[in-house]
Chain A
Amino acid sequence: MNLRPQSLVLSKLLLLLVLILPGCAAREGNSQLGAAEAEDFNDPFEDTNRGIFDFNQVVDRNVLVPVAKAYRTVLPDPVRDSLRDFLHNLRAPLNFVNDTLQGDFVRAGRTFARFTLNSTLGVGGLFDVAGRWGQLPYHEQDLGVTFGVWGIPEGPYLVVPVLGPSDPRDLVGQVGEGFGDPWNILVSGNPWTLYWIPYVRGGVSGIDQRSRYIETLADIERTSLDYYATIRSLYRQRRAALVRGERENLPPPASFSRNDGPVASVAATNRASQRKLISEAPNVSEVSR
């Protein structure tokens, strides 16, 4: 889940999916209730998505989780930490560009300082000296978030084979990053000797990420009534939170004063539209009354 496409081939595959998926039949919401619900879930391709989700679950159970568990068992903590720090450092150019594109020059500066420190003192990124001693913790900014900050809507919720929850905005963002990543560009000139590097990088970072959530996701799956719906909500809220940035963690109060209507906070995809929603929200009586 949340694997990053690190190769151009994979990126092209994703681009294809963006073009194909909207062609799938949308589930109709005939009643008024159904229409409001559909807007809340933002999931017009739910049947297709659930099918892919089930497939992903099979892959997750039989391949990703066993591999992630083995990864966690075989490699000692310091090795995995170093590997993670190294992968984080490889993302620095993309993070820097996204910080800049979002107009956050202070954070861009921090990203640049981190990259410089970790690539030198941190032995090519193997040790996160900037985070541990330099008060410069790692943070990640991707192109999907940048699009969101610019006010581009998320589009319908999508489940991508193997890669998991997404939406057109995030998919396009991932494709863009696949093309724009300097490391990918660097190795694309050496098609016969280094072409495998982005695949390995993508695979390892995917396994590393999955290994951090083995227990959490198992717990959510065990206790939830509808795992698909829970993951959908978690993904969309998390992405919306990243677009809102650190400025505000909770959805606007408006969404909590109304218990009949689509969730304003989830529908909102950027700060501008959120502000609009707050001002437009009617004074509906509080839930508790």
Chain B
Amino acid sequence: MTRRSVLTAALVLIVGALAPAILAAADPAGVINNLGNRALEVLGKNVPPAQRVARFHELFREDFDVPGIARFVLGRYWKTATTEQQEEFVRLFEDYIAIVYSSQLAAYSGETLKVTGSRADQEGAIVASEIIRPSGAPPVKVEWRLTDQHGTYKIRDVAVDGISMAVTQRSEFASVIQRNGGQVQGLIAMLRDKTAGPAGR
């Protein structure tokens, strides 16, 4: 174990211990600040891919409304799926998201997330933030949509430069299902294939 990974591990432990306390305070901006700190510190280039995916899994489960997002991205096909299909889909979706976004986050080393504001919304809150790039390039605008679940804020959607990740995912999944004769099973099969293997392909 290198010196750096010892430090990283220590950091994960400390942040992990602090996180629930911060979350209990549960203001939406705090959730995002907290997530930003953890994500950008732990998901950098120096973390091996498998560990990054595992870590992302944790972040996703803790801070995101995974069942709500899974249901949203399946759209109208949620109702046509059987209970078993729904359950398997939620599980595969979580794995899939972890692979997709942890690989994207790997490229974001050196950047910092700055919360620029938040406002209440009919379902919870919207937190505006910017990813500040060390190169001096214009910051990337990221907006977080959170739902208020009994006093705890969970992330429902992330919009990058006005592009909603949930809407994008739903559109893609709908297209896959449609091209598989309207069968949810077709999407599930593709997700199984994509999430198989050590850290995805």
Contact = CB atoms under 8 A, between A and B. Distances in A.
A237 B162 contact: yes
A222 interface: yes
B122 A253 contact: yes
Contact of B167 (A242, A244, A263): A263
A278 B122 CA distance: 12
Contacts of A233: 167-168, 171-172
Nearest to A139: B138
A286 interface: yes
A244 B79 contact: no
A16 interface: no
B68 A287 contact: yes
Query: Chain A: interface residue count, which band?
Result: 35 or more
Given A40-B171, A238-B161, A241-B161, A287 B72 contact: yes
Interface stretch (B10-18, B19-27, B176-184): B176-184
A137 B107 contact: no
Interface in A231-264: 232-234, 237-238, 240-242, 244, 249-251, 253, 255-257, 259-261, 263
Contact of A230 (B79, B123, B143, B168): B168
Given A242-B162, A286-B123, A219 B107 contact: yes
A222 B201 contact: yes
Interface string B67-92: 11001101110110000000000000
Interface in A26-55: 31, 33-34, 36-37, 40-41
A216 B163 CA distance: 15
Nearest to A243: B162
B76 A260 contact: yes
B52 interface: no
Interface string B105-144: 0010000000000000111001010000000001001010
A225 interface: yes
A266 interface: yes
B174 interface: yes
Given A234-B163, A263-B170, A249 B128 contact: yes
Interface in A119-133: none
B162 A260 contact: no
Nearest to B145: A250
Contacts of A244: 162
B71 A234 contact: no
B40 interface: no
Given A223-B103, A287-B72, A288-B147, A253 B167 contact: no
Interface of B: 65, 67-68, 71-72, 74-76, 78-79, 99-100, 103-104, 107, 121-123, 126, 128, 138, 141, 143, 145, 147, 149, 156-157, 159, 161-164, 166-168, 170-176, 178-179, 182, 187, 190-191, 194, 200-201
22 contacts: A219-B104, A224-B100, A225-B176, A226-B176, A226-B179, A229-B174, A229-B175, A229-B176, A230-B172, A232-B171, A233-B167, A249-B159, A249-B161, A250-B143, A251-B164, A253-B121, A256-B156, A256-B166, A259-B75, A260-B76, A288-B147, A288-B149
Query: What 5 pairs between A and B have smallest CB-CB spacing?
Result: A241-B162, A229-B175, A233-B171, A288-B68, A260-B76
Given A225-B194, A256-B145, A288-B147, 10 more contacts: A219-B107, A222-B201, A223-B99, A223-B100, A225-B172, A229-B172, A229-B175, A230-B172, A238-B163, A288-B68
